[in-house]
């Protein structure tokens, strides 16, 4: 996209990479580019899964505090906060599976960005946290909503109200990340998982993701009704027929997203 956010596509997997050394601070320029990257991979029919990552040592260290300190109250409310939320919503709304590969530090807005992914894989030695409370503010890009959903309310209250960072081992133990791997294997492991997902039927992936996301906001009975509606939309697809034929013929299915 530009010098701060790069989109690299390998077959059906797109990698969105933050590249604003040394800290990958989320300045307005980075947020604009990140939102554009999210729109790009969402609209690209060739992309079936997405990896979100940063540099080898830093995923993202949060908002650009120097940039924030120069803004007035009106600018913060009307510009910075809105841009931050709009960008993260664009990432969360990507219709394909998104996996965050967390390197080094993911603090404040960096952790909130990782929480926009469908799930997360973390490098050993990495640390994450929501330290906004130490600056006299609070998480404002989904942290107070997504962290409790990931680790539970009581644990999230402790982490947000103390502002203390926590380790990769703790993140895995508390359910924030799916697995922790050696840092030098992090991107390879995440890409392998993304490729495995990309081999599956795109319509099935989209419908299953939507069913899980929306179903958790409903009563169980409403969610079950939503699920069967999502399922029925796949019945007439070519991919369903291909999947069944491949199974019966004992071969690997080739899904085309139709």
Q: How does DSSP assign 88-117, residue by residue? A: HHHHHT-SS-EEEEE-BEEETHHHHHHHTS
Domain count, the chain: 2
132 catalytically annotated? yes
List 14, 101, 106, 112, catalytic entry: 112
Does residue 255 fall inside a structural domain? Answer: no
8 catalytically annotated? no
57/89 same-domain check? yes
143 catalytically annotated? no
63 catalytically annotated? yes
Across the chain, the runs of DSSP E, i.e. the strands, are 5-10, 13-18, 49-53, 58-60, 98-102, 105-107, 119-123, 127-129, 166-167, 179-181
pLDDT in tens, 137-177: 899 889 999 999 999 999 999 999 999 999 999 999 999 99
Angstrom distance (rounded) from CA 6 to CA 250 = 40
Does residue 21 fall inside a structural domain? Answer: yes
240/130 same-domain check? no
List 12, 14, 60, 63, catalytic entry: 63
List 12, 14, 60, 132, catalytic entry: 132
Does residue 124 fall inside a structural domain? Answer: yes
Phi, psi of 183, rounded to the nearest 5 degrees: -55, -40
pLDDT in tens, 62-101: 766 666 666 666 666 656 778 888 999 999 999 999 999 9
Domain with 83 in it: 5-198
85/208 same-domain check? no
Q: Are 130 and 111 in contact (CB under 8 A)?
A: yes
234/216 same-domain check? yes
pLDDT in tens, 209-247: 999 999 989 999 999 999 999 999 989 998 999 888 989
88, 217, 218 from 214: Cα distances, Å: 18, 5, 7
List 35, 54, 62, 109, catalytic entry: 109
What pLDDT, on a 0 to 100 scale, did the predictor assign at position 22?
Answer: 82
Q: Are 214 and 77 in contact (CB under 8 A)?
A: no
14/126 same-domain check? yes
235/128 same-domain check? no
Contacts of 194 (CB under 8 A, 6+ apart): 13, 49, 50, 51, 97, 99
Instruction: Give the predicted TM-score (pTM) of the model.
Output: 0.91
Does residue 256 fall inside a structural domain? Answer: no
Does residue 140 fall inside a structural domain? Answer: yes
66/115 same-domain check? yes
35/83 same-domain check? yes
pLDDT in tens, 178-212: 999 999 999 999 999 999 999 999 999 999 999 99
CATH of the domain at 237: 1.10.12.10
Q: Among the three residues 180, 198, 216, which one is the final residue of a domain in this structure? A: 198
Q: Among the three residues 161, 181, 198, which one is the final residue of a domain in this structure? A: 198
Q: Among the three residues 174, 198, 222, which one is the final residue of a domain in this structure? A: 198
174/218 same-domain check? no
Angstrom distance (rounded) from CA 104 to CA 38 = 23
CATH of the domain at 51: 3.90.226.10
10/119 same-domain check? yes
Q: Is 70 helix (H, G, I), strand (E, B) or coil?
A: coil
112/234 same-domain check? no
According to DSSP, residue 79 is labeled I
Q: Are 42 and 93 in contact (CB under 8 A)?
A: yes
């Amino acid at each position: 996209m530009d010098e701060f956010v790069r989109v690299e596509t390998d077959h059906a997997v797109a990698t969105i990479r933050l590249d604003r050394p040394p800290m990958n601070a989320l300045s307005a320029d980075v947020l604009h580019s990140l939102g554009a990257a999210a729109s790009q991979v969402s609209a690209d029919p060739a992309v079936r899964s997405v990896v979100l990552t940063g540099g080898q040592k830093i995923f993202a260290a949060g908002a650009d505090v120097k940039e924030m300190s120069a803004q007035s109250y009106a600018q913060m409310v009307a510009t910075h906060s809105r841009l931050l939320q709009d960008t993260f919503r664009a990432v969360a709304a990507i219709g394909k599976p998104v996996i965050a590969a967390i390197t080094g530090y993911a603090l404040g807005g960096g952790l909130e960005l990782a929480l926009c992914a469908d799930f997360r894989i973390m490098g050993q030695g990495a640390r994450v946290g929501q330290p906004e409370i130490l600056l006299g503010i609070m998480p404002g890009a989904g942290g107070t909503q997504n962290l409790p959903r990931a680790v539970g309310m009581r644990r999230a209250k402790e982490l947000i109200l103390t502002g203390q960072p926590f380790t990769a081992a703790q993140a895995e133990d508390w359910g924030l990340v799916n697995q922790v791997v050696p840092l030098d294997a992090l991107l390879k492991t995440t890409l392998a998982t993304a490729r495995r997902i990309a081999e599956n039927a795109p319509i099935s992936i989209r419908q299953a993701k939507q069913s899980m996301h929306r179903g958790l906001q409903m009563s169980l009975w409403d969610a079950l009704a939503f699920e069967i509606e999502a399922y029925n939309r796949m019945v007439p697809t070519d991919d369903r027929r291909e999947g069944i034929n491949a199974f019966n013929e004992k071969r690997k299915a080739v899904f085309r997203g139709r």
